[in-house]
Amino acid sequence: MQPAAKIEVPEGRAARIGATVTGVPQEIGNGFVAIHFSEKMFDGRMDPLLMVDHFVMTAPTFDPHLHRGISAVTAIFEDSQGAFLNRDTLGNNVALQPGDLYWLAAAAGAVHEEKPEKGGRTHALQIFVDLPERMKNEPARALHVEAQNMPTIKTPGYRVRVVLGRSGDVAGPHGTPEEMTLLDGFLHPEGKFAHLLPEGTGAWIYAVSGTLSLQVGGESRDLNAGTATTVAAGSETEILIEANEAAHFVLLAARPIT
C-alpha cells in the first residue's frame, strides 16, 4: 500500500474528512492514564459525541458520580485483564468482561461507579454521547452488551467486531437511545476495510495503534496511533481504511443532533 495521497477538495465543495486531531495525555493518581478528546477539538464535527477517553485503569480512580442529559458509554477492549466493576443507581451491579460494552443513558440523571477488580487492568474507551432535548428528561436506563453477542467480520485482511449497529450486511446489537454504529477493527498488514456510511450520518475514527490511511470520496487522511478524525454527515459514502502494518481502529457513526 502506498501512502495516502493528499487530494485537495475542489473549490466550493466542503471537505468530508476533518482535520487530524491528536489526543491530550492525561494521568490521574497512580492507576489511570488516558488520551483525551473533546468536541471542541473537532470544531463541532464530533456531534453527537461530547468526549472520548482512551484509557487504561488499574486501580479505583473516581468516586461515584452523577451524569445527567447524556449517555456514558464504556467500550472495553479485548486485551483487558480481569473484570471492570460497574455499579449504578438503576440497581445494576455488573462485572464487565473484556470486549463488553455498557451504555448508561443517564437522561434525567443516574449515579455510577466503575473500577477494575483487584489486580485487573481495564483498557477501554469512555464515550460521552449527547442526547436530543426530547430525551434529556426521560428516565435513565442501561444496556449491557456482552462480547459473545457481538458479531465479527473476518477476512484475510481484517477482523472487525460490530459492537453496535451495522456494517454492510452484518447487524450487531441495538437498543441505544439514538441509533449508533461502533466498530472495533483490526487490520492485518496490507489489510483494507470498507464501511458504507449512510446518508445523513457522520463518523469519528480513531487509531488505537498502528498507522491508518483513510479515504473518503477522493479525500484522504493518515492517522497515527493516538489521533482521530471525522467524516461529516452528507450523502452516502464509502469509508476505506487501510494499513501497511498491523493496526487497531475504532469507528463510531451516528446522526448529528445539531
Q: Does 2 score more than 60 pLDDT?
A: no
The CATH architecture annotation of domain 21-148 reads Sandwich (2.60)
pLDDT (0 to 100) of residue 76: 98
Q: Residue written as cell 461502533?
A: 182
Q: What cell was used for 254?
A: 451516528
The whole-number average pLDDT for the span 5-23 is 71
pTM above the 0.95 mark? no
Tens of pLDDT along 68-78?
A: 999 999 999 99
| Predicted confidence band of residue 13 (pLDDT cuts 50, 70, 90) | low
The whole-number average pLDDT for the span 43-69 is 93
Q: What cell was used for 139?
A: 428516565
Q: Does 236 score more than 80 pLDDT?
A: yes
| Predicted confidence band of residue 14 (pLDDT cuts 50, 70, 90) | confident
The whole-number average pLDDT for the span 51-75 is 93
Cβ burial of 235 (10 Å; 0-12, 13-18, 19+) is: exposed
Q: Show contacts of 166-174: CB within 8 Å, 24+ apart.
A: 167/195, 167/196, 168/195, 168/196, 173/101, 173/143, 173/145, 173/149
The whole-number average pLDDT for the span 200-218 is 97
Class of domain 150-254: mainly beta
The whole-number average pLDDT for the span 60-85 is 93
Tens of pLDDT along 89-138?
A: 999 999 999 999 999 999 999 999 999 999 999 999 999 999 999 999 99
Phi/psi for 70 (5° steps) reads: -140, 180
Write down the mean pLDDT value for the chain: 93
Q: Where are the domains of the chain?
A: 21-148, 150-254
DSSP, res 2? P
pLDDT (0 to 100) of residue 5: 38
Among residues of the chain, what percentage have pLDDT more than 90? 90
Q: What cell was used for 233?
A: 454527515
